[in-house]
Amino acid sequence: MFRILMLLLPGLIPSWKFFKAVEPSPRVQWRLLSNPDQSGDHWQDFRPRPARISVATILKRMFWNPDWNEALYMVSLAERLTLNPTPHSTEQIFLRLQSEIDATLPAASRLPYLQFRLVFVHRDGGDLVHEITHLSDPRRLDECAP
């Protein structure tokens, strides 16, 4: 029995030595615009993390958490877009953002253009530094849908 437990233990408690380095991951931020030439600083985070979650939510998320899986996919797309920009990564981010906007914003309050950016947040000494690594071209919302 002890031998079986020793074989299962590495699967239950993963080793952080698996990662070569732990670095900041990009945050996807988006905004809606009334026209493609509009400027402004009304950026919103894609599914920001809550400040606090209950113990029941933590336990539930251990077994069922599709939103977190999609958030991890967005981070993967953002990392790919930063390292090696491809139309596929851009399209997938636009599709996910469109889906989020459809689910959370009433149609009457939507502006016609969508734009996103990738931001790396890291500490430099005691200061938080926001580094923008990618800024998409604005796209009509009706062109983002599949």
Q: What is the pLDDT of residues 22-71, one digit of tens each?
A: 677 788 999 999 888 888 788 999 888 888 989 988 888 888 888 888 88
Residue 15 has pLDDT above 70, yes or no: no
Segment holding 95, helix H or strand E: helix 87-104
Rounded CA-CA distance 81/133 in Å is 9
Mean pLDDT value across the chain: 84
8-state DSSP, 84: S
pLDDT of residue 143: 67
Q: Give the pLDDT mean for 124-138.
A: 86
Max intra-chain CA distance, the chain: 67
In eight-state DSSP terms, residue 120 is: E
Structure pTM?
A: 0.76
- Give the percent of the chain with pLDDT over 90: 16
Q: CA distances (Å), 101 to each of 75, 143, 146, in order?
A: 18, 14, 14
Helix axes 66-83, 87-104, angle to 10 degrees: 140
